[in-house]
Structure 1
Amino acid sequence: MRKNIRQIKTPDLPLGFRAAGIASGIKKDGKPDMALIFSEVEATAAGAFTTNRVAAAPVWLDKKVMAGGSCRAVIVNSGCANACTGVQGEADAERMARLTAEGLEIDPGEVVVCSTGRIGKLLPMEKIAAGITGLTGIIKAGGNDSASDAIMTTDTHPKRLSVEFEIGGVVCRIWGIAKGAGMIYPRMEVAAMPHATMLAFLATDLGVGAELLRGMLSISLSQSFNRITVDGDTSTNDSVILMANGESKAAIEPGSNGMEVFQAALDMVTGELARMIARDGEGATRLIRIEVRSARTGDDARRAAAAVANSLLFKCALYGASPNWGRLLAALGYSGVLIEEKKIEVSLNGIAIVENGLLLQVQADIIGAKLHEKELDFVIELGLGEESDLYYTCDISPEYVEINKE
């Protein structure tokens, strides 16, 4: 299916969408810190948000917007999370939506608000208001390609991807940007009718009904953003927004032939953006893939993979290129899933390192070379069933502590 999906130049947005970024002065270094994404026409929308019960003010606002199944604009600020800010934080989020709506001449109920940055600080609303005025002006003039830069916090580079695919002979696009490097362990749920932060914004010019869009986003989340972790901390602000405006004039419906193509394209974009986040973990030097196979149930496979991916001891050992596989086995043991130690087998980049629950003595030069590779692929066989799942993570370095010590 992927052979029919083509990656394209990222600034090429889907038809009918515009995006822009601007420096409003929130960040002391003067870098871009506000972004706006806008659909020129009505768009259906689906959103997924953090399950952290201490959720930021914009999350509560956005859930109400997503209940209606549509939105036309997403306004984002970085540098301040607007979390744990009480009634004032709620009022500030609502004001951001109202000011954006006024500038774009749409209804405030069509605006999603997202914030990322330090928790517990109130938004600098004078700078925010000026930034919104500047952004709406840029959008009306056609937009710019700075949106992905403007949503970054501790990220070392912007994360963006665009693809093209065909539905019924019509070329359609999906465009996506994301941010995240620390405080990454998203456990998001798609907002029904009625996880530094991980944010992602996706847009397509394909026509998709709101209910179908929610279902397809939920499938994508289960194999992308909800399968990454940097440090095991679930953010107060995690949000993913997907908009579909139908401007390509192609559309899909439940059961139609185009569903499989669109799902594959959506999975490609969300999956690659998720891996970009894991690869860019704060202070990380390696991307790590943890796949658990032959588990008794799918949930057992997920929980076992998550336990290993979140083990700080294991990930510190990987930073030091130390073959301390006992830490991996220990994580499996406390994961809470059914295991039989004597059946466990583990390989690293194709080299067996555990058999029958026992650590193998692999030549130091061979295993040392593997551990210094930039991508480490661990395959764990539990030998109890046929279910599998995987997580992407990264190693933990002294730089992670340096970044997060304050």
Structure 2
Amino acid sequence: MSPEQPSSKIGKSVGEKLRAARVAQHYTQSQLAAPDFSVSYISAIERGQIHPSLRALEILAGRLGLTSTQLLPARTQADERFGTTTNLAERDDDEIQLALLELSLLIQQGEPQQAIHQLEGISVKRLKHPYLLQHHYLLGCAYYKVQRHQESENLLTAGLQQIKEGEDVYLSRRFLYQLALTYTAMRNYAQALQAYQRTLDLLEKSEPHDPFFIIQLYIQLGQHYTRTENFDQAIAMFHQALSLTEGLGSTHDIQAIYAQISSYYAESKQSVLATLYAYKCEQIHHQQTIKNLRSELHHFLGHAILQGDPARAREYLDEALQSPTVLQDALTLASIYTRNAEWYFDQKDWAVSKQNAQHANALAQTFGDCVIGAEALIMLGRINYAQQLPEAGSQYFVEGLDMLERIGAHQELADESVRYAELLESLGQEREAFTHFRRAFQSKQKLGQ
């Protein structure tokens, strides 16, 4: 059975818009497709035979100089009003799926407040059970994004209770994982851990396995154990995640995994999920995703190890600096150099520490704004302050803190703002210190703390 869905008015409308935009830009199907998609995939979308995934929609729209929402079907003036969503249950299945797709796009594109406005306007009494669950999940995610954590918890918990046993394992996992993130933001670490473990139990008992989802779960568990200072468990979780990334070394490996998942859902007549994973199979941009995941994992793993035994940390860093996988990945190498700088900083070897931090900064600069680049800058700030060079140190600190704010890394921004404020305070610069204490406080507020 093919995982692709039959033609529908949603598919045709998206396809028509895609073809018109492609022709207007004088692109052939082959030019639009490469390197992420096949020509047959583009052709099928344009003929209305299949629906593009959210990610595919974003990529194709970007190449055509459009936003993804511009490729969605046009709505009437009446439909543009938020109030029309109250009659969602009266629409046919295609229209409901389109409405939920648009709301999911709003959340992913950083517009959770607008999504909330529309989701809260939907009358849920007559929604079919699957759409009701999707509504609860999307609204719970949107509440989480805007730090309305108690409302997110209430809605996700209610939605989870409405999932019948064995009815939708995929959605159960997503509900539990989002609930765990919400509990973490509320600093309710005991319930967060319980939700993470329940998610892991469901993953271990069910098929198929989405490797990216499992890796993210282990990352979150590792961060949880780091926050609660259970560093041995944190290190174990990060190593578990790293071991999973080793099995995703090539585009072919990734495509094979998603093809298997798509076939599973197609055979079990879960056409929406079958289509979702078929699209993931079509896309080969996941290779960069794997590199970024590995970099992120080494970043968190190094941080956890440095909190414990210095000898163990030294062993990890020496091994990482000789690893061919690390040496071939510039962002991961930047992370290792930053941790190496931190290790030598703790030993008060400022010269070697600075050399490593400078290497990290040079490597990270090519990747733009990222947490690894920000920490390399802040490490240089700390070193310069230790060398009695506060002017240079402040320059690095401010640049690193601004980067953390741009990428929304509020926990790191709060922690490093406090560190910088304390350094300023030690120099008698109370006014400047207060500014950064306030910045830390505001970052904590954004985390709901």
- Normalising to structure 2: TM-score of the pair? 0.27
> Which structure is richer in relative contact order (CA contacts within 8 A, separation 6 or more)?
1
Structure of higher CA gyration radius: 2
- Normalising to structure 1: TM-score of the pair? 0.29
Structure with higher helix content: 2
Structure with higher strand content: 1
